Structure 1
Amino acid sequence: MRTQVAIIGAGPAGLLLSHLLERRGIDAVVLESRDRAYCEQRQRAGMLEQGTVDVLRACGAGARLDREGLTHHGLELRFGGRGHRIPLSELTGGKTVTIYAQTEIVKDLIALAPEGRIRFGAEVVEVDASTPRVTYRENGRLHTLDCDLIAGCDGFHGVSRAAVPNATVHEREYPYAWLGVLADVPPSTEELIYCHHERGFALHSLRSPEVSRLYLQVSPTDELAAWPDERIWAELRTRLATGDGWTLKDGPIREKAITPMRSFVTEPMRHERLFLAGDAAHIVPPTGAKGLNLAVSDVTALAAAIADGGLDGYSESRLRQVWRAEHFSYWMTTLLHTDHSADAFARRLQLSHLDYVVSSTAAATTLAENYVGFAYDGR
């Protein structure tokens, strides 16, 4: 087989890249080791920046997003038992964010793909970045896919990242993890609540008007068995409590998981004819909601570079935006999470910083601009 671009991984990055290339008349084949059902059921949260929504609409994947996505014009920072609204749209010239699950984006993009573009159950076993060529196993047999270039969109544990020799790796582990739950209960809020509490961070998000997504800061060593549903709701009520009568709705929890938090960047994001995108190149802690949006920015830039002959500048340009997102995610994480090893001085500094963010228009604008996403020009 031969194609112009071999794409490894059928997550949002790989699928979207294939559609962006198609719109430019460039052939691509997507190789995915899992089956279609797994890809369409892999649960991930989804907070979409304005730019991400615009890209999905432009490639024809915006119909259901526009019907079912929940557009937000602000968010709330909550600490000291009080809520403080950050008016995102007002501070950023009208930009919004949209709640729409990553799982649904994958379904929409798969449904748009023509027959044969995505090869599910095709496990890539070797990447030759110089030829270039991809070797994959399908139905127990080895096959090769010759191409002009390779896009590695197969995540942190995929083969693409390992195929970049002598890469420089930057990494940070955090002493926090998130216990995330998906609950069959209408949300208790119309906009996301980011809450700092002495017992730990909490986040009240939502999946739909009928389903809530909530998170608790826990220890990375915690196990799910230590968190029965009753304890989760009790802890959420404690951390999210306010003095104005606000109440938290509870209900059946359908899913729960504990996710450690880390920052990771590998550079460069290119080796010969292999180009990395998304989690294959970088991971951010989820506090800033940048992971999916960075992946979309990567493949949008990569598609343009492939079509316009700008591949030599791809890695340098993308890494500038990646590091901006890494810093914002680090800042949000350290601003809102509770370091139980910190002394009273450090805790008072953290509260002072939170108070500054909600009382200063300049500080709130910095948060808002980063949260909704920059129109990045690559310079």
Structure 2
Amino acid sequence: MTQPVQEETCVVVVGAGPAGLTVANLLHGAGIPCVVLERQSRAYAEQRQRAGIVETRAVRMFQDWGLDARVLGGAPSDDVLEVRVDGRHRLLRFGTDDDGPQALLCPQQVLVANLIATFLDGGGDLRFESSEVALDGLTGQRPTVRYRSPDGTMHEIACDFVAGCDGDHGASRAAVPEGELTAYPFDHRISWLTVLAEAPPPPHPLMAISRHGYAGHFARGPLASRFYLQCAPTDQADDWPDDRVWQHLRTRLGEDGLVAGPITEKVVFPLRSVVHEPMRYGRLYLAGDAAHVVSPVGGKGMNLALYDAEVFARAVRDFIADGDESGLNSYSRTCLHRTWNYQEFSRWMTEMLHDAGDDSRTGPFRRKLALARLDRLCRSRASSLAFAELMAGLA
């Protein structure tokens, strides 16, 4: 049997999504060697359509590390969320009152493509189409990560730390022995049909509430839009032909003249949340969806992944530079504090936006409560400031 190719580095990053690529760029900028392994091709990684808002906290992070021009350059700022309740328009501002940067509209595929280009242009080691990834020796001094390269060659990389950034179903969390992590799952009992279409984006992120159910409209580029439609949990994408999609969007958004375009993707998915504690096992540090999944309402999933990435990168930098282990030891506690804060915010928004519409699921009393919350959010300065801080990631 052919022996694996033996290699060494400081950090192996498993997964080239927002968390993994941010870890890699921050470590590379600090002069710390790392290798990034990604199961998919570069083309696939750069086309994955996901969240589109980079919160204020994350913008400041990229500025602090000198990456904002390369990673976020050209992305428009927007601190306004439009909410329509039974056709009535309301604008919620989630910018902050200081003179710092505001949130940016940057679709995930654009952010990922920029992070990949920045890392590779700087000489970073990013290996696409890495299969059969396996992690060993995580509680020892030198873990190893094995994988098969596209040409069939097995590699074994010895390292000091592993950043597990390969998502909810990746190899990283699966390598943790049973019983070492506690999962806290939650089913929101709400499903969405998500639609990607070649249609003009809205001026601002748009959420619409009516008795027909929730609908959302978000920019995914200058000529592309992502739409969301609340649907029955038993629905399949085939239950929603294009004509039905556009009919419901026009009704729920209150836009009879909504411009239709070719639909390139339709997927039904349930809204769910889960947190795995702790976010560390030995020398494996879980980040992003590998550690937690957040309901998409509020746009916190990607931003939470970026936060995890910076906490980990700072901890490794401090350890390498000064032998300071405090950041590594507090990694899980630090990240989980923000994780649960974001989970609470996302659940609050999810409940409010859906309860305020179709009351067949929760009843008229819950609908009236949710409408009162929305009204207070739009009328109360204190409520709007608290909302803005959470949206900006500064709370």
| TM-score, scaled to structure 1 | 0.92
Q: Distance in 2 between matches of 1:171 and 1:314?
A: 21
Among candidates 357, 363, 373, match of residue 377 of structure 2: 357
How do 1:1-379 residues align onto structure 2 when only pairs under 5 Å count? 1-57=7-63, 58-60=65-67, 62-63=69-70, 65-67=72-74, 69-89=75-95, 96-114=102-120, 117-123=125-131, 124-131=133-140, 132-138=143-149, 139-165=151-177, 166-187=180-201, 189-241=202-254, 247-308=257-318, 309=324, 310-338=327-355, 340-374=360-394
Taking a change above 3 Å as real, the CA distance of residues 143 and 208 of structure 1, as seen in their structure-2 partners, is: closer
Amino acid at match of 2:184: H
How far 1:64 sits from its partner (Å)? 6.5
Quote the offset at 1:341 in angstroms.
2.3
Q: Greater CA deviation, 324-333 or 93-102?
A: 93-102
CA contact (8 A) 2:96 2:102 kept: no
Distance 1:43 1:162 in 2: 25
| Deviation of the 1:90 alpha carbon | 5.5
In 1, Cα distance between equivalents of 2:86 and 2:113: 41
The Cα shift of 1:20 comes to: 0.3
**Cα distance in 2 between the residues matched to 1:34 and 1:208:** 23
Is the CA contact 1:164–1:270 (under 8 Å) kept in the aligned structure 2? no
TM-superposed deviation, 1:59: 4.5
Q: Are the aligned partners of 2:71 and 2:118 in contact in 1 as well (CA < 8 Å)? A: no
Query: Distance in 2 between the 1:94 and 1:16 partners?
Result: 21
Q: How far apart are the structure 2 equivalents of 1:149 and 1:137?
A: 20
What percentage of aligned pairs have identical amino acids?
43
Q: How far 1:73 sits from its partner (Å)?
A: 2.3
| Counterpart amino acid of residue 136 in structure 1 | Y
CA contact (8 A) 1:10 1:154 kept: yes
Q: Which sits farther off after the overlay, 12-21 or 88-97? A: 88-97
| One-letter amino acid of the structure 1 residue matched with residue 58 of structure 2 | T
SS for the counterpart of 1:71 is coil
The count of aligned residue pairs is 370
Q: In structure 2, what is the Cα distance between the partners aligned to 1:22 and 1:135?
A: 22
**Cα displacement (A) at 1:192:** 1.2
**Structure 1 unaligned residues grouped into runs of 5+:** none
Deviations 1:304-339 (A, max 9, x none): 011113200110011000000000010110010145
CA contact 1:24–1:307 (8 Å) conserved in 2? yes
Cα distance change of structure 1 residues 64 and 302 upon mapping to structure 2, 3 Å threshold: closer
Q: What is the alpha-carbon distance in structure 2 between the residues aligned to residue 81 and residue 116 of structure 1?
A: 50
| Residue in structure 1 matched with residue 4 of structure 2 by the alignment | none
Shift of 1:252: 2.3
Give the conservation status (yes or no) of the 8 Å contact 1:79–1:195.
yes
Does the CA contact (< 8 Å) of 1:16 and 1:296 recur in 2?
A: yes
Separation in structure 1 between the aligned mates of residue 259 and residue 238 of structure 2, nearest angstrom: 23
Structure 2 contact 191–270 (Cα < 8 Å) conserved: yes
CA distance in 1: counterparts of 2:153 and 2:54, whole angstroms: 39
Mean CA deviation greater in 265-274 or 359-368: 359-368
Relative to the length of structure 2, the TM-score reads 0.88
Taking the aligned partners of 2:67 and 2:284, their CA distance within structure 1 comes to 27
Displacement of 1:185: 2.1
Question: Cα RMSD over matched residues?
Answer: 2.0
Check whether the contact 1:203–1:216 (CA below 8 A) recurs between aligned residues. yes
Deviation larger for 278-287 or 156-165: 156-165
Shift in Å, 1:25: 1.4
* Deviation of 1:18 (Å): 0.9
Cα shift at 1:126: 3.1
Q: Give the secondary structure class of the aligned counterpart of 2:335.
A: helix
Distance 2:382 2:290 in 1: 34
Runs of 4+ in 1 over 6 A off after TM superposition: none
Which stretches in structure 2 are left out of the alignment for 5+ residues? 1-6, 319-323
Q: 1:235 to 1:94 in 2, by over 3 A?
A: farther
Deviation at 1:247, TM superposition (A): 4.5
Deviation, structure 1 residue 41: 2.0
Cα distance between partner residues in 2 of 1:7 and 1:72: 32
1:249: how far off?
Answer: 2.6
Aligned residue type for 1:70: P
